[in-house]
Structure 1
Amino acid sequence: MGCSNCASKNDGLPKGCKNNGSCGVDSCNKLTVFDWLSDLELPSGVEKFDAVEIRFKNGRKSFFRNTENLSLSIGDVVATETSPGHDIGIVTITGELVKVQMRKKKLDPYAAELPKVYRKANQKDIDVWEEAKAREEKVKVRAREIAIRLQLKMKISDVEFQGDGSKAIFYYTAEERVDFRQLIKEFAYEFKVRIEMKQIGFRQEAARLGGIGSCGRELCCSTWLTDFRSVKTSAARYQQLSLNPLKLAGQCGKLKCCLNYELDSYLDALKDFPRQDQKLITEKGEAVCQKIDIFKSKLWYAYRDDYNNWIELDTEAVKTILKAQRNNKPVASLEEFIEDKPVVNVDFENVVGQDSLTRFDKPKGRNKNKGKRRHKRKRSPQKNKSTNAKQKS
């Protein structure tokens, strides 16, 4: 389900969402949630869970207690408790699914210290909220100029105003500790609001800003990925990927999160593989592993005195050779275990006339028929004269 602004035009092209992060049905935003428990009815005598999940800018979400028993549904704009003042957010989950999410994030669903929902936002609250959001881009540009002037080694990646416009949160990234006491003074004097500085990691910065990955799709961290697991270079080694930082790094400058997606499948397949650093000792000589194909269960070995000649073996053959090696009965050579592959002769037919690569280099020959037609045209007046003379005689 999408909002009316996301529908198609008359010519079939999508209009694109014009809500800028405040979609009424919460179906075209980052980290959208589907309430799969909405159709289930509670047993008799069981009250509906009184906590709700509310989303703020760029996927920032928090849990609030609905102490006023308001009738809330997904997409409602509400005013929530904060210190100081109040904030404006959009309801993303209600009911029993909130309890599941809180337990997933290791929070007590029945904790008394949860902030509460004040009311549904009225038109005045929404107008102040929209004015505060409209200031964010200009404030971010000006804040970066001030940080550069103070020569601070930090990057201000995003600015988020509170719903009532009384406080601004500046999200920044830095590799070292930053002394921003003077920066906060200038921010407070320049923007006339309470200032809060919040440091985030490079992955969180990419998730907040969004973008398009090398796969052509939107970044996983800005669409559906909620937790950031550590990615190690060993994940690339297990998947036989070249350790090229330009290809393995994402927009955050760290290793791509998608390196972990298929890692379990590769690890399961590698359980049946012998160790690559284990050498094969035969009567012909010692062989070293050069390459493996995980999902085809193939390994390529080469003798120490002939590294250019690779011999393809399957995992069962390698295990047999290693077993004989442990029993001090080495095999004669690796060539005994080479599988005889049937030779397939492929006959290529010329269906397009591309039999010669230099067919366009030859000069065009003279068209004989064209020359004959010209010759006939020249002789035709003489024939007419002779026929006229015969008629006169």
Structure 2
Amino acid sequence: MACGSCSTGKDGQPKGCKNNGSCGTDSCNKLSVFDWLSNMSLPNGQAVFNCVEVRFKNGRKHFYKNVDNLSLQIGDVVATEASPGHDVGQVSLTGELVKVQMRKKRVKEDSDEVLKIYRKASQKDIDVWTEARNREEQIKKRAREIAIRLNLRMKISDIEFQGDGSKATFYYTAEDRVDFRQLIKEFAYEFKTRIEMKQIGFRQEAARLGGIGSCGRELCCSTWLTDFRSVTTSAARYQQLSLNPQKLAGQCGKLKCCLNYELDSYLDALKEFPKQDTKLQTQKGTAVCQKIDIFKGSLWYAYEGEWMNWHELKTDQVKKILEAAKNKKPVASLEEFSVELEKENKVDFGNVVGQDSLTRFDKPTKGQNKKRRNKRKKPRKKRPKNNA
């Protein structure tokens, strides 16, 4: 979704609103929220919920109290309480949906985490905020150079200035513990501001930076996904996916979050299947499961010693074979069931709508053969003799 100012330029290229992440209509940013209760009025006598949700850089959100009962709408730029000074953010949600989000994230209205909103941001606040954000890329480059010079095994992925420019938060990732006491001293001397170091995980780093996934869409963690659940390789096994780390890993280097999206559906479908390690006992021999197809409801078995010959069976047929072996009356062989399956799947297609054959041009017609024979029968013209 794009706002009205993100139109196309004269040359056909996207023009963009050029607000650098502070779009006033709340449609170009990450983790934007649609207030589906905005056109509904509250019952008589019920007061409006006095907390709002404010979003900062790269999807960072917090809840704040509207103690002065300011008239706030989604997209308003406000100055909020910080320690020390004040921060500048954008209102992302108001009304009763804020109460739902606070209950979902287990944040109480009277807790110390919920700070207050000072005022709507003035033009001076916005100018200071914009100037501080314009310094972030240059400072990030310089900060990485200092970290490399100090031989610290860490990666500074992002920098976020407070709204009044009095503090800068450096987000970094590291596999081991890092002693950055000397780093903070050099940062404070170089950038002349308060420094706060915050370690984040690799998934949080990908969410802050964003990008395009292998599916061709923006990363889920940077657009709508807010909670990071653990993903294991068993999710790929249940979905019959190849255990290739290069295909299963996302840009963060961890397993893709989308492996969990359809996992419940696969687990429900696998309840109808017998266990793959169960062997089929027949009079001909013992068969072992080689492959299953959840969508078709089929299983492929091969006799021990004849691993190249696979027999396709349905789940009902496998259950019959297992029930017969349990009753000590094993079936003769798997071929009986596989032959029945081939007969069922055989479909005879006919020309019911009068369409021509697709191979009608492959063989020459009778008329073409006659023309060729007539050309061969025509006598050749004799050349006149040269009397000279």
The two structures have a TM-score, normalised by structure 2, of 0.88
Are the counterparts in 2 of residues 76 and 90 from structure 1 also a CA contact under 8 Å? yes
Are the counterparts in 2 of residues 53 and 91 from structure 1 also a CA contact under 8 Å? yes
Kindly provide the amino acid, as one letter, of the partner of residue 228 in structure 1: F
Rg (Cα) greater in structure: 1
Correspondent of 2:358 among 334, 349, 355 = 349
Which runs of 4 or more aligned residues in structure 1 lie more than 4 Å from their structure 2 counterparts after TM superposition?
A: 10-13, 343-348, 351-355
Distance in 1 (alpha carbons) for counterparts of 2:45 and 2:10: 50
Distance in 1 (alpha carbons) for counterparts of 2:5 and 2:359: 54
Q: What residue is the counterpart of 2:298 in the other structure?
A: 298
Q: Which structure 2 residues correspond to residues 52-71 of structure 1 after superposition, within 5 A? A: 52-71=52-71
- Relative distance call for 1:113 and 1:282 in structure 2 (3 A) is closer
Q: What residue is the counterpart of 1:24 in the other structure?
A: 24
The aligned length equals: 361
Are the counterparts in 2 of residues 103 and 109 from structure 1 also a CA contact under 8 Å? no
Residue 306 of structure 1 aligns to a residue in which SS? coil
- Relative distance call for 1:344 and 1:16 in structure 2 (3 A) is farther
Distance in 2 (alpha carbons) for counterparts of 1:80 and 1:210: 26
Residue 226 of structure 1 aligns to a residue in which SS? coil
Distance in 2 (alpha carbons) for counterparts of 1:166 and 1:261: 42
Find out whether 1:283 has 2:292 as its counterpart. Answer: no
Residue 308 of structure 1 aligns to a residue in which SS? coil
- Relative distance call for 1:343 and 1:91 in structure 2 (3 A) is closer
What residue ranges of structure 2 are gaps of 5+ in the alignment? 351-355, 365-379
> Displacement, 1:37?
1.2
Kindly provide the amino acid, as one letter, of the partner of residue 173 in structure 2: T
Distance in 1 (alpha carbons) for counterparts of 2:363 and 2:62: 67
- Relative distance call for 1:149 and 1:86 in structure 2 (3 A) is same
Distance in 2 (alpha carbons) for counterparts of 1:214 and 1:182: 40
Distance in 1 (alpha carbons) for counterparts of 2:302 and 2:348: 26
Distance in 1 (alpha carbons) for counterparts of 2:17 and 2:265: 38
Superposition RMSD in Å: 2.3
Q: What residue is the counterpart of 2:86 in the other structure?
A: 86
> Displacement, 1:19?
1.3
Deviation readout 1:131-164 (Å, 9 max, x if unpaired): 1000000000000001111111110000000000
Find out whether 1:175 has 2:179 as its counterpart. Answer: no
Distance in 2 (alpha carbons) for counterparts of 1:351 and 1:6: 54
- Relative distance call for 1:52 and 1:343 in structure 2 (3 A) is closer
Are the counterparts in 2 of residues 213 and 219 from structure 1 also a CA contact under 8 Å? yes
Distance in 2 (alpha carbons) for counterparts of 1:88 and 1:121: 7
- Relative distance call for 1:41 and 1:112 in structure 2 (3 A) is farther
The two structures have a TM-score, normalised by structure 1, of 0.87
Find out whether 1:109 has 2:118 as its counterpart. Answer: no
Distance in 1 (alpha carbons) for counterparts of 2:156 and 2:362: 63
Residue 325 of structure 2 aligns to a residue in which SS? helix
Kindly provide the amino acid, as one letter, of the partner of residue 288 in structure 2: V
Are the counterparts in 2 of residues 81 and 116 from structure 1 also a CA contact under 8 Å? yes
Kindly provide the amino acid, as one letter, of the partner of residue 121 in structure 1: A
Deviation readout 1:80-127 (Å, 9 max, x if unpaired): 000000000000011111100001101113436521000011111010
- Relative distance call for 1:12 and 1:107 in structure 2 (3 A) is same
Find out whether 1:6 has 2:6 as its counterpart. Answer: yes
Kindly provide the amino acid, as one letter, of the partner of residue 261 in structure 1: Y
Find out whether 1:321 has 2:321 as its counterpart. Answer: yes
Comparing 323-332 and 22-31, the one that deviates more: 323-332
Deviation readout 1:32-90 (Å, 9 max, x if unpaired): 00011111211111110000000000000000000111111010000000000000000
Deviation readout 1:263-310 (Å, 9 max, x if unpaired): 111111000000000000100000000000001110000001211110
Kindly provide the amino acid, as one letter, of the partner of residue 196 in structure 2: E
What residue ranges of structure 1 are gaps of 5+ in the alignment? 356-371, 380-393
> Displacement, 1:170?
0.2
Distance in 1 (alpha carbons) for counterparts of 2:256 and 2:10: 40
Q: What residue is the counterpart of 2:256 in the other structure?
A: 256
Kindly provide the amino acid, as one letter, of the partner of residue 172 in structure 2: Y
> Displacement, 1:15?
2.2
Are the counterparts in 2 of residues 31 and 222 from structure 1 also a CA contact under 8 Å? yes
Distance in 2 (alpha carbons) for counterparts of 1:7 and 1:195: 39
> Displacement, 1:2?
4.1
Distance in 1 (alpha carbons) for counterparts of 2:288 and 2:2: 58
Are the counterparts in 2 of residues 5 and 18 from structure 1 also a CA contact under 8 Å? no
Distance in 2 (alpha carbons) for counterparts of 1:90 and 1:66: 14
